[in-house]
Amino acid sequence: TQLLEQSPQFLSIQEGENLTVYCNSSSVFSSLQWYRQEPGEGPVLLVTVVTGGEVKKLKRLTFQFGDARKDSSLHITAAQPGDTGLYLCAGAINTNAGKSTFGDGTTLTVKP
Amino acid sequence: EAQVTQNPRYLITVTGKKLTVTCSQNMNHEYMSWYRQDPGLGLRQIYYSMNVEVTDKGDVPEGYKVSRKEKRNFPLILESPSPNQTSLYFCASSAYSGVVYNEQFFGPGTRLTVL
């Protein structure tokens, strides 16, 4: 059973469009992270959110942590081809912070 | 340069032949972890270690062993590999600091094929 469910699984859009990726769970997470992975490489951290309702911005990327700390979203404004990649959410549940759970990922393709 | 290294990067082996994938980090991180990545399944945690001599199972530990004798190294051992262990493996480390864990730094990956 996947603790973190991401949607959509695949997303193909034109340059300049906006998009949102969702990460949902029935469990409460002490923190949630978003990573981006390019082919042939390991994931690289984009952001960590820890407070329910928290919103963080990273240039054209906006991350939100749900009030109940069970879900998160990643919104990209005016997507560019350089945003192409696999986006992964990851979380740790309070009771066992060493155990790390990743969502199954969203593959984003931004066409020029 | 701060990094996590894995060796080998690519490995083709046969069923039942014991193998070890090494992982080393030079950031003095307490936390290290192994993941496998399969299409459509994201990353699944195999084992993790909160510090030297402290290891624990992740979500998919069956068929794998680990050890943490030194802080910098965290090898992944497959005693008797089977074809369903064909996957892309990542090692990661983090400066663990209590309930909220910090950024995980990932190695470049090891692509393993078991025939």
**A71-108 residue pLDDT tens:** 999 999 999 999 999 999 998 876 666 788 899 999 99
Quick check: B56 and A99 CB within 8 A? yes
One-character DSSP codes across chain B? ---EEEE-SEEEE-TT--EEEEEEESS--SEEEEEEE-TTS-EEEEEEEEETTEEEE-S--TT-EE--SSSSB--EEESS--GGG-EEEEEEEE---SSS--PPEE---EEEEE-
| pLDDT at position B98 | 62
Cis peptide bond N-terminal to A43, omega within 30: no
pLDDT band with cut points at 50, 70 and 90 for residue A2: low
pLDDT band with cut points at 50, 70 and 90 for residue A34: very high
Quick check: A102 and B44 CB within 8 A? yes
Cα separation of A22 and B2, whole Å? 31
Write down the mean pLDDT value for chain A: 91
Return the number of CB contacts < 8 Å for A and B. 76
Cα separation of A5 and B31, whole Å? 25
Cα separation of B88 and B36, whole Å? 6
Q: How many CA atoms lie less than 13 Å away from A110 in the CB half-sphere?
A: 17
Query: In a 3-state reduction of DSSP, which class is residue A80?
Result: coil
Give the burial class of A89: count Cβ atoms within 10 A of its Cβ; 0-12 exposed, 13-18 middle, 19 or more buried. buried
For chain B, which ranges sit under pLDDT 70?
Answer: 97-101
Q: Smallest Cα–Cα separation from B44: which of B63, B25, B27, B29?
A: B63
Minimal C-alpha gap between B108 and chain A (Å): 5
- B107 → chain A, closest CA residue: A42
| pLDDT at position A1 | 52
- The tokens of B14 are what? 């046969």
Q: What percent of chain A has pLDDT over 90?
A: 75
B59 contacts in A (CB within 8 Å)? 99, 101
| pLDDT at position B96 | 73
- A10 → chain B, closest CA residue: B40
Quick check: A102 and B99 CB within 8 A? no
Among A45, A50, A105, whose Cβ lies nearest the Cβ of B104? A45
| pLDDT at position A98 | 77
Residue A75 β-bridge partners: A20, A62
Among B43, B50, B90, whose Cβ lies nearest the Cβ of A98? B50
- A97 → chain B, closest CA residue: B99
Quick check: A42 and B90 CB within 8 A? yes
